[in-house]
Amino acid sequence: MRVVLTGGGTGGHIYPAVAIARHCEAESTSNAFLYIGSEKGLESRLVPQENLPFESIDITGFRRKLSLDNVKTIMRFFKGVTRSKKLLSQFKPDIVIGTGGYVCGPVVYAAAKLGIPTMIHEQNAIPGLTNQFLSRYADSVAVSFEGSERSFPKAKRVLYTGNPRATTVQSANRERGFASLGIPMDSKIVLITGGSRGAKAINQAMIGMAEKLGSLEDVHFVYVTGELYFEDTREAVRSKLGTMPNHLHIVPYVNNMPEVLAATSLIVNRAGASFLAEITSLGIPSVLIPSPNVTNNHQEANARQLEEAGASRMILEKDLNADTLFQRITEIMKNPELQLAMSKASKQLGKPDSAAVIVEEIHRLITRP
């Protein structure tokens, strides 16, 4: 099977595509892949690190306001379609899969025009503009949140698959998670992170509540600041406390996030769809702080799905401070029954077989009459 993957801009679009590739590889080592992305996008760095062949097209996203830049974007789109048709004709894929971000627009559109089976995957509760556009051309649309199917009324076929990142974390080694952090196995871990790049608002709340953390016994707090904020955050905490206590661990980035998640009792995080897929797959209770700086405010919609199910507590960024964050953490960590109930609710939302469901749909599309 020959598979073209496309999607980018953020890890939330890239990692699901990689997860699909990994599941296909586990199924058969003879499968071949090509990833088409943007040279300027995060995928140009991450995808080669995953040892997947990478090609690029020149494309930018549309501005939501009337702008002359949109005229240039339209021109780039059609140039991207031409470039994509050339790459597809050379690679001869059995299927093309788009996982969101404007870069997959020309690629999936080109594949549809060439008669190649196509599939798109939408990670968020509110679909992005590119996937809304492509849903009219794709042979199949996969959604991560149950109930999101109705967001694609013009699609030929829509199915609830979950997010393939949920499958990725299932094999994570919990012991290695504890060992990598230098934390005893019998401890409880509260993991606080603002995503791979960090979040200033969350870091400020983390700094503000640092002196209160000792009141929660046998709980280790792991602050993942993002590399940009690491030095300033660490120094701010040190100046506030005078020394770094044993129960507080401040790191710029976590390379083995699935293993650390497997060891985590409670997570405080943004509400990116791929991350939510991982934590629900593992049944981790959460305090979610949606980013207000995303298209259509989709992170708040993502977070509300978990909150309404009882798996999470949400704090809007406008309400976030050291007191509100510590109050939510204390409420959960001092109430084992609540923690267990949230964990069960989180697990019920999880879709650990997501990658298998998507690959099954891939086979259906390829072998259909």
The answer to whether residues 293 and 258 belong to one domain is: yes
Alpha helices (H) in the chain, listed in sequence order: 11-27, 43-49, 68-91, 104-113, 129-134, 165-168, 174-181, 200-209, 230-241, 257-262, 273-282, 298-309, 322-333, 336-349, 354-367
In this prediction, residue 296 carries a pLDDT of 82
Distance from first CA to last CA of the chain, Å, rounded? 17
In this prediction, residue 142 carries a pLDDT of 97
From the list 275, 271, 355, 270, the residue with the least C-alpha distance to 5 is 355
Query: What span, in angstroms and rounded, lies between the C-alpha atoms of 123 and 302?
Result: 9
Range of the domain at 320: 169-349
Q: What are phi and psi of 79, to 5 degrees?
A: -65, -40
In this prediction, residue 369 carries a pLDDT of 77
The answer to whether residues 154 and 256 belong to one domain is: no
The answer to whether residues 105 and 33 belong to one domain is: yes
Largest CA distance in the chain: 70
Tokens of residue 267, six digits: 């997570």
Q: Could you give the number of structural domains in the chain? A: 2
The answer to whether residues 10 and 65 belong to one domain is: yes
The answer to whether residues 110 and 186 belong to one domain is: no
The answer to whether residues 33 and 145 belong to one domain is: yes
* Residues contributing to the annotated binding site: 10-12, 124, 196, 299
The answer to whether residues 103 and 150 belong to one domain is: yes
C-alpha count within 13 angstroms, C-beta hemisphere, residue 92? 1
> CA-CA distances (angstroms) from residue 289 to 194, 262, 319?
9, 21, 10
The answer to whether residues 156 and 184 belong to one domain is: no
Tokens of residue 26, six digits: 């586990």
If you write DSSP's letter for every residue of 194-227 in order, what string do you get?
--TT--HHHHHHHHHHGGGGGGSTTEEEEEE--G
The answer to whether residues 340 and 360 belong to one domain is: no
The answer to whether residues 275 and 154 belong to one domain is: no
Q: Give this prediction's pTM.
A: 0.85
β-bridge pairing 312-314 and 286-288: parallel
Partnered with residue 223 across adjacent β-strands are 192, 250
Cβ(308)–Cβ(288) below 8 Å: no
The Cβ of residue 368 has, within 10 Å, a number of other Cβ atoms equal to 8
Q: Per-residue confidence of the chain (369 residues) as pLDDT tens digits?
A: 999 999 998 888 999 999 999 999 999 999 999 999 998 888 999 999 999 999 999 886 655 555 556 567 778 889 999 999 999 999 999 999 999 998 999 999 999 999 999 999 999 988 988 999 999 999 999 999 988 999 999 999 999 999 999 998 988 999 999 999 999 998 999 999 987 778 999 999 999 999 999 999 889 999 999 988 999 999 999 999 988 899 999 999 998 999 999 999 999 999 999 899 999 999 999 999 999 988 789 999 999 999 999 999 999 999 999 999 999 999 999 999 999 999 999 999 999 999 999 999 999 999 987
What type of residue sits at position 82?
T
The answer to whether residues 333 and 190 belong to one domain is: yes
The answer to whether residues 153 and 299 belong to one domain is: no
CATH number, residue 238: 3.40.50.2000
From the list 200, 169, 145, the residue with the least C-alpha distance to 264 is 169
In this prediction, residue 69 carries a pLDDT of 66
Query: What span, in angstroms and rounded, lies between the C-alpha atoms of 80 and 363?
Result: 27
* Residues contributing to the annotated binding site for UDP-N-acetyl-alpha-D-glucosamine: 10-12, 124, 196, 299
The Cβ of residue 53 has, within 10 Å, a number of other Cβ atoms equal to 13
